[in-house]
Amino acid sequence: MKMIKSSKSLFSYSRQWQLISFLILGLLIFSLNSIMEVNYFIKHYLLILEIQTGIVCLYFISLKLKTFKHKNSNFIRK
């Protein structure tokens, strides 16, 4: 029973960091687009590109961190 409880708390902790990372990404994109003084069509096109690249980068960073954490936990157990 304790194993299920700890994994559930770890899942919620992981979700909180995921939410925080997406909030930081959104804030960064918003601030960059607020500063720019360009045509609306270009601004919206850049917004779509920034969001897509940001989500893909966050995905690969989180994937890399999960594998890094998994390798470290196996190292500590041995």
The one-digit pLDDT tens for each residue of the chain (78 residues) are 444 555 555 556 677 777 888 888 889 888 888 888 888 888 889 889 989 998 998 888 888 887 776 666 665 555
Extract the tokens encoding 23. 């909030």
What are the C-alpha distances in Å from 10 to residues 2, 4, 35, 36, 42? 12, 10, 38, 40, 42
Q: Which domain holds residue 50?
A: 2-77
**Res 52: pLDDT:** 92
Contacts of residue 58, defined as CB under 8 A and 6 or more positions apart, other chains included, come to 21, 22, 25
**Res 1: pLDDT:** 45
- Total-model pTM: 0.61
**Res 12: pLDDT:** 66
**Res 35: pLDDT:** 87
Name the domain count of the chain.
Answer: 1
